[in-house]
């Protein structure tokens, strides 16, 4: 499978990133191992997690996902074949934010859970308005010099905070963010398109969007109020159903019918075709779900398909 360069980072990834938020949460260890095995078996290589996954679940402290992923890489002896992505900054028992000392200690903790000596792409999970960006970037650069991370990235940064970070990053004393992880999909476009996307293109940043399926809305399972009973995400789905999303699902139906693809594959392929996007992130809690995601990488959307989707 053809791999894409992740901006100027030197990393190369296949056009789909596996989201690890479900590992050790809605997917137990055995299921997570099976999903990961299927993912790499299909020719993909990048896995995204965070230290905070899945702290929100009852009885969890955070680090559950990293622990499962680390155990899988050790069991398969495949660390050198995986582009490993994790994050720092969200609240954990040991602290939160992007102060230099905390970034250093949180990285050490992630490395232990992941059972590795380095992280390929290390994201600042959210901007930290209480910490000077220079301090944050200097901490990332120190980790790069120590060989503990290869590339630093920005997750959930808007145009203003990303502009400030890029202005401060010199790649010598202060790391330069090489990748952005934004909230972006066919339904939610305003948070990325415009100034933020233009900056990513002009600065040659890699882009790996999360919520590629709009929390499941773009699967097509939620079309009426009655469908909201299908999931614990009903409240979130009701919010997403406001406005014109039904017109979007209808347009996706048209493209799916023409291509023989599922709506999931159409939604992912649309992101893959976007010139500024390196690869979207999507999660799976079963091998069957995973095997529905992966064909998106081979789905060729025509300019007409893209116009049909954009017009909705």
Average pLDDT of the chain is: 95
pLDDT in tens, 231-253: 665 566 666 666 657 899 999 99
pLDDT (0 to 100) of residue 209: 98
Percentage of the chain modeled with pLDDT above 90:
88
- The closest of 119, 125, 110 to 144, measured between CA atoms, is 119
Question: Cβ(189)–Cβ(264) under 8 Å?
Answer: no
pLDDT (0 to 100) of residue 233: 57
- The closest of 16, 20, 4 to 297, measured between CA atoms, is 16
Q: Which residues pair with 119 in a beta bridge?
A: 149
pLDDT in tens, 282-297: 999 999 999 999 999 9
Stretch 6-33: mean pLDDT:
97
pLDDT (0 to 100) of residue 246: 85
pLDDT (0 to 100) of residue 243: 62
Q: Pick one of 3.20.20.100, 3.40.50.10860, 1.10.1740.10, 3.40.50.720 as the CATH number of 4-221+263-300.
A: 3.20.20.100
Question: How does residue 2 score in pLDDT terms, banded at 50, 70 and 90?
Answer: confident
- The closest of 94, 84, 89, 203 to 139, measured between CA atoms, is 89
| pTM greater than the 0.85 cutoff | yes
pLDDT (0 to 100) of residue 218: 95
What burial letters (b/e) apply to 60-81, b meaning 16+ CB within 10 Å?
A: eebbbbbbbbbbbbeeeeebee
Residue tagged active-site, from 53, 177, 184, 210: 53
Stretch 157-174: mean pLDDT:
97
Stretch 25-31: mean pLDDT:
98
What tokens were used for 212?
């590629």
102 given a catalytic annotation: no
DSSP per-residue codes, 4-71: EE-TTSS-EE-S-EEE-TTBTTTB-HHHHHHHHHHHHHTT--EEE--TTTTTTSTT--S-HHHHHHHH
CA atoms within 13 A on the CB side of 230: 14
Give the sign of the dihedral formed by CA 55, CA 120, CA 106, CA 128. Answer: negative
Residue 138's contacts (CB-CB under 8 Å, 6 or more residues apart) are 100, 173, 174, 175
pLDDT in tens, 104-141: 999 999 999 999 999 999 999 999 999 999 999 999 99
Residue ranges covered by each domain of the chain: 4-221+263-300
- The closest of 98, 140, 104, 138 to 121, measured between CA atoms, is 140
What tokens were used for 311?
């017009």
């Amino acid at each position: 499978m053809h791999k894409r360069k992740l901006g100027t980072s030197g990393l190369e990834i296949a056009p789909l990133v596996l989201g690890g938020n479900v590992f050790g949460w809605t997917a137990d260890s055995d299921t997570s191992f099976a999903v990961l095995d299927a993912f790499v078996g299909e020719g993909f290589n990048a896995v995204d997690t965070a230290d905070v996954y899945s702290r929100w679940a009852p009885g969890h402290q955070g680090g559950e996902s990293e622990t499962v992923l680390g155990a899988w890489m050790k069991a398969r002896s495949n660390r050198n074949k995986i582009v490993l992505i994790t994050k720092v900054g969200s609240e954990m028992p040991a602290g939160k934010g992007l102060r230099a000392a905390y970034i250093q200690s949180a990285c050490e903790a992630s490395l232990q859970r992941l059972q590795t000596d380095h992280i390929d792409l290390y994201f600042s999970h959210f901007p930290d308005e209480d910490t000077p960006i220079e301090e944050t970037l200097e901490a990332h650069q120190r980790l790069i010099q120590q060989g503990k991370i290869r590339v630093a990235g920005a997750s959930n940064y808007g145009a203003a905070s990303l502009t400030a970070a890029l202005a401060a990053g010199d790649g010598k004393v202060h790391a330069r963010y090489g990748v952005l992880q934004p909230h972006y999909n066919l339904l939610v476009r305003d948070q990325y398109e415009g100034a933020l996307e233009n900056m990513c293109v002009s600065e040659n940043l890699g882009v790996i969007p999360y919520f590629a399926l709009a929390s499941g809305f773009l699967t097509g399972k939620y079309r009426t109020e009655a469908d909201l009973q299908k999931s614990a995400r009903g409240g979130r789905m009701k919010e997403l159903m406001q406005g014109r999303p039904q017109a979007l699902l209808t347009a996706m139906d048209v493209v799916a019918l023409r291509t023989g693809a599922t709506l999931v594959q159409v939604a992912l392929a649309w992101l893959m075709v976007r010139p500024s996007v390196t690869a979207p992130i999507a999660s799976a809690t079963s091998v069957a779900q995973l095997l529905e995601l992966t064909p998106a990488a081979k789905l060729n959307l025509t300019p007409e398909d893209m116009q049909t989707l954009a017009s909705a």
